[in-house]
Structure 1
Amino acid sequence: MLEVTDLSAWYGQAQALHKVDLRVGEGEVVALAGRNGAGKTTLVRCLIGLHRQIDGGVRFLGRDVTRVPAHRRARAGMGWVQDDRGIYASLTVEENLLLPPRVSDRAWPLGRVYEAFPVLAARRKAPGTTLSGGEQQMLAIARTLRTGARLLLMDEPSEGLAPVIVARIGEIIREIKATGAGVLLIEQNVKFAATVADRHYLLSQGRVVESLDNDEFQRREGDLLKHLGI
């Protein structure tokens, strides 16, 4: 579904990514972990098409999208759940959900969204400015599911949230996986990532330094937490 080959990225003369290779298959959740400043968000911005000073290759659904603009990647089925959630504050919950276009027949109908996220159903007429952090995160995920994205790039979805909300987000990620969609999960909370991911990549100073399946990741969790400084 997603294949990244020898991806390097720069900000001017400063190199942020160094020949990164990774892949995400259909119905697979792949976690990307790393310290702050390791290059995780830069990588996501390269994948979605917002950072263009790059070298290497990005393929999505068998097509080379390395130089394809961001809006066309989104139309092709690449969805982005931003770390800042990107909620339109002046719109209601329901207006936020209805705004994005549908890009495939995988799009979740509004009824299914409200069934999966009852809190959004209860607050459907509430403006975005009144939502809690957990409610905003659920809305950001639900809005992407409404588009029918084939691949979700989820940037720090558990950050700053209560454990009960994090557990619910884990359930939703597993439900997304069951539909056959892929998820690239950028996540500092590696204990949470281990509950949902099939495989893990560790990013350090812009380089992939480890690629592990979930069983190996859990066996080495203590060492990896030290390596990540968490």
Structure 2
Amino acid sequence: MTETPARTSTRTSLEVAGVSAWYGEARVLSDVGIEVGQGEVVTLVGRNGAGKTTLLRCIMGLHKQVQGSTTFDGIELHKRSPNQRAWLGIGWVPDDRGIYASLSVAENLMLPPVVHDDGWSLERIYEFFPALHERRDFPGTKLSGGEQQMLAMARVLRMGARLLLLDEPSEGLAPVIVQSIGEIIREIKAQGVAVLLVEQNVKFAATVADRHYLLAQGRVVEHLDNADFQAREGELLTYLGM
């Protein structure tokens, strides 16, 4: 395991310590520990089945067979429901984007409550995501894959989420759309929002993240700063089979 990268003085937003999780009797996470600072982008990198999405689900309270400690802004989350975690300021963007088919783009945006004063206004969202403004009356599922990803991210920005859990935002998208998603993540970071990103696209991850945790068989096996991550890009691509 590599030496732990130096951290900045950024205040810790999320701390996961000793988290293990199961599906039935199958153990999928083993004693996982990670941290994400305020205004920091951190990625979880690993092969399919490494436990990345399960860890996000544990943080959001969507996975029940879990042990260990998860704190957000110093608040222990163990006994809090997913709804309560959302009210604390944790935003969840699943890999299927979670767009409501029967609602328009505007209705999808307005559905969640605003949980923090820093939530983006609808005007700001439409300025930053002009495609959503153009299609605001369209049913959510009539959007392209990239537009659905933007809608899912814009929805939690309107909520005022202070921690964003992003699951494979670049998956299946054209390179020009992936570039736009990267710009959005960097803008979110500039606002002081913490981002925990599950990503298999190593090249994309290196353009947005400060640090990276490599998961294998449910364990954190390496913790790399972005400079080391970029230097080992070829090795990581081979490891991930990409």
CA distance in 1, matches of 2:238, 2:80: 38
Displacement of 1:66 in angstroms is 1.8
Equivalent of 1:34 in 21, 26, 46: 46
State the match for 1:142 in structure 2: 154
Percentage of pairs with the same residue: 67
Superposition TM-score, scaled by structure 1 size: 0.99
Corresponding residue SS for 2:50? coil
1:43 partnered with 2:43: no
Q: Separation in 1 of the partners of 2:151 and 2:50? A: 27
Aligned pair partner of 1:9 in 21, 45, 49: 21
Q: Which ranges of 4 or more aligned residues in structure 1 deviate by more than 4 Å?
A: none
In structure 2, what is the equivalent of residue 188 of structure 1? 200
How many angstroms apart in 1 are the aligned matches of 2:152 and 2:145?
11
User: Alpha-carbon deviations, 1:149-175, whole Å to 9, x = none?
Assistant: 000000000000011111001001000
- 1:125 pairs with one of 111, 115, 137: 137
1:78 and 2:90 are equivalent in the alignment = yes
Which residue in 1 is equivalent to 2:6? none
Distance 2:128 2:78 in 1: 34
* CA RMSD, Structure 1 to Structure 2 (Å): 0.7
Deviation by residue 1:110-132 (Cα, 9 ceiling, x = unmatched): 00000110000000111112111
Aligned to 2:114: 102
| Structure 1, gaps ≥5 residues long | none
Letter in 2 for 1:94: A
Answering whether residue 227 of structure 2 is matched by residue 204 of structure 1, we say no
Task: Provide the rounded CA distance (Å) in 2 between the counterparts of 1:66 and 1:192.
Answer: 32
Shift of the alpha carbon at 1:68? 1.1
**Equivalent of 1:20, from 21, 24, 32?**
32
TM-score normalised by length of structure 2:
0.94
**1:66-99 residue CA offsets vs partner (Å, 9 max, x unmatched):** 2211100000000001100000111100000010
1-structure distance, mates of 2:178, 2:79? 35
Shift of 1:229: 2.0
Find the aligned partners of 1:6 and 1:34 in 2 and give their Cα distance.
Answer: 19
Q: Note the residue ranges of structure 2 that are not aligned, 5 or more in a row.
A: 1-12
Q: In the comparison of the two structures, how many residue pairs are matched?
A: 230
Q: Write the letter of the residue equivalent to 1:167.
A: Q
The equivalent of 2:3 in structure 1 is none
